[in-house]
Amino acid sequence: MPYKPARNKAAKKPAEGTPIPSWQVPTEPEPRWLAFGTVVLVIASQTWIANSLSLRPVWVLPVVSAILLLASLAVYLPDHEEPSLVLRRLALGLSAVLITTNAISVGLLIRGVFLGSGLDPLRLLLTGLVLWIVNTAVFALAFWEFDGGGPEARSDGCRDYPDFVFPQQQQDQQGLAPADWKPMLLDYIYVSLTAATAFSPTDTMPYTKRAKLLMGAESTIAFTIAAMLVARAVNTAKG
């Protein structure tokens, strides 16, 4: 069953003679293979982190994520020309589970730093660093999945407004990118990396409430992880 996100009826259409925004221009859909591969790496990394931080039982959340991933593949493989409501729900559910897993891991990292951990200091620092990298990847996937209703919906050009506005989509940047330019997963990875590093938006701005909530959540988690790494490093240096 094809899934077509509803248009915002209150939005104003471009006046006659005004160029159509790039996010409204239909293009070929971006394949999901890179995203699927990234999810596999994320699940493997989250399993290692959960084991390192003594999350018990270790297998529960990774198994849930793996089931959602396999189900997404099963829905996507037969026909990935049109977005389906089932694929959309599976993808959003997978994003929610991955984010929840990271949040739980952050809580365990905080416990390990302040209440003690069975890990030696260097292993705890390494676990925190891997968690920061995984968090960046998880939110890149979430941004990619949420923006404009997902990659398939973005390719249809059926949204009046995007959730994230990239420099290439702004009026004053016309001529620096193709008229039908659309962000791809690598663009969202960059957005996620800058948000995790600067703890705030940089060149790409969140325009909708859900985009702001997502970016705010990433920045908060990234800042917390960084603070724990610094705290642990200071404690280690003091001996």
Domain spans in the chain, listed from the N-terminal domain onward: 30-238
As a whole number, the mean pLDDT across the chain is: 85
- How far is residue 65 CA from its own chain's centroid? 15
Indicate the pLDDT class of residue 80, thresholds 50, 70 and 90: low
What is the pLDDT at residue 49?
94
202 near 195, Cβ under 8 Å?
yes
What is the pLDDT at residue 3?
47
Q: What is the pLDDT of residues 34-66, one digit of tens each?
A: 999 999 999 999 999 999 988 888 899 999 999
Radius of gyration of the chain (CA): 20
Percent of the chain with pLDDT over 70: 85
Cis peptide before 57 (omega within 30 of 0): yes
Indicate the pLDDT class of residue 15, thresholds 50, 70 and 90: low
181 near 229, Cβ under 8 Å?
no
For the cut 90, the answer to whether the pLDDT of residue 157 exceeds it is no
Average pLDDT over residues 139-164: 89
For the cut 70, the answer to whether the pLDDT of residue 13 exceeds it is no
Output the pTM of the full model.
0.87
What is the pLDDT at residue 1?
38
Q: What is the pLDDT of residues 174-229, one digit of tens each?
A: 667 787 889 999 999 999 999 999 888 888 999 999 999 999 999 999 999 999 88
Average pLDDT over residues 63-84: 85
Average pLDDT over residues 4-17: 47
For the cut 90, the answer to whether the pLDDT of residue 235 exceeds it is no
| Choice among 33-42, 59-68, 111-120, 148-157 with the minimum mean pLDDT | 111-120
Buried b (16+ CB within 10 A) or exposed e, 218-233: bbebbebbbebbeebe
Indicate the pLDDT class of residue 140, thresholds 50, 70 and 90: very high
Average pLDDT over residues 127-155: 94
For the cut 70, the answer to whether the pLDDT of residue 17 exceeds it is no
What is the pLDDT at residue 123?
85
Separate counts of helices (H) and strands (E) for the chain:
7, 2
User: Alpha helices, DSSP H only, in 77-208?
Assistant: 85-115, 121-146, 151-156, 185-198
Which residue's structure tokens are 């270790």?
58
What is the pLDDT at residue 137?
97
Q: What is the pLDDT of residues 122-131, one digit of tens each?
A: 888 899 999 9
